Amino acid sequence: MPASRFVVLLRLPRRQLLRLPLPGPPPLRSFSAGQGPPASPAQAPKSTWLKERLGTSEEQARKMAERYPQILGMSIEDSMEPRLAWLRERLGMGEEETRRMLVRHPQIFGMSEENMGPKLAWLRERLGMSEGETCKMLMRNPQTFGTSIEDNMEPKLVWLRDRLGMSEEETCKMLTSAPQIFGLSIEENLEPKLVWLRERLGMSEVETRKMTMAKPQIFNYSIDENLDPTLTFLESRLQLSPDQLREFVLRDVGMLGANTEGMEERLQLVKGRFELSDEELLRFVERVPRLLVMHVENNLAPTIAFFEGALGKEVARDFLVNDQPTTLTYGLTRLKARKALVDALGLGVDKSLASKMCTLTDISFNRFLEKRT
């Protein structure tokens, strides 16, 4: 701003100064036409490289630039190309895996090999991870590359082993499935949550260890927004005693991350479809707690409809409610494929055949069909 204009502004009354229009923020740079100003000559090669070398779409390239604007100022030869080659060579990642990781986390382009290399070596040497396990972990949580070994990774490893009594193999398995644990605070998250779960459910050390190993993602759940509302819902809706609640949750820890409205929708679907009383509904859910986390439109409702179509509504109700309720959790794609084979052979489906369709391995089921023909 010129000095003369600055002096003029200083002499204006305060009210007049407040009424002056403020300059707006500069428009976002975008790769896509129609989404702001056209790409500058410096941006265009980045867009072309991302689409041709990495296999991204125009939309994916634009989102990468929005998530990590620094990418627009990077050198393709000195930064982007070497980083891509490093990921593929050191992690053994395929083209599709590399594309998915970098589209979701383009900030990896800004990390140095001097930073990423030691993390990779630590994971393999300290946790005994194979190349495939390391790749799987970093695909799930690339932020691990930005985590300090001394301040985060090593303390979490020691805490898991000492606090939960986990073996090296168990620790490796947990961190591979939930590597975000590396970024959580022991004092503010892990330890308080562990104590809360033990007290809320009255669990022993062994039961707590079993729960956290089965569902390490519970460390990401909020006590106030997820865990406590879910447990309160189960306790009141199903009228469970403290002991029943503990046993019920330990049978399928995944329900701790479920939305209570979604669980109520599933309960109402089963209750209405099978015409169950509250007591019958409770007994049914106790036998197949996984239905509380099943997707209604894609899984639960179509599976019930499949058995009703194959057996008839009344027989299907008796089969699913009284005989084998766990069949609701079986893969619908495989059931449909086996039903097609049965139909092709002109066989009628009764409860005995339906049971075999659900429980036999592919080899055993094919042998069974051969004998029937």
Domain boundaries, the chain: 33-110, 125-183
Average pLDDT over residues 263-284: 92
DSSP 21: P
pLDDT at res. 44: 62
Residue found by looking up tokens 């479920």 in the block? 258
Nearest to 94 by CA among 141, 51, 131: 131
Whole-number percent of the chain with pLDDT over 70: 88
pLDDT at res. 2: 47
pLDDT digits (tens, 9 = 90+) for 303-328: 999 999 999 999 999 999 999 999 99
Higher-pLDDT residue of 2 and 141 is: 141
Residue 38 has pLDDT above 70, yes or no: no
What is the three-class DSSP state of 184?
coil
Integer Cα distance of 148 and 134 in angstroms: 17
36 — pLDDT class (breaks 50, 70, 90): very low
Lowest-confidence region among 57-66, 131-140, 271-280:
131-140
Q: How far apart are the first and last CA of the chain?
A: 92
Integer Cα distance of 258 and 98 in angstroms: 31
Integer Cα distance of 369 and 364 in angstroms: 9
pLDDT digits (tens, 9 = 90+) for 202-260: 998 888 888 888 888 888 888 998 899 999 999 999 888 999 999 999 888 888 888 89
For the chain, the average pLDDT equals 83
Residue 3 has pLDDT above 70, yes or no: no
Residue found by looking up tokens 């409770």 in the block? 282
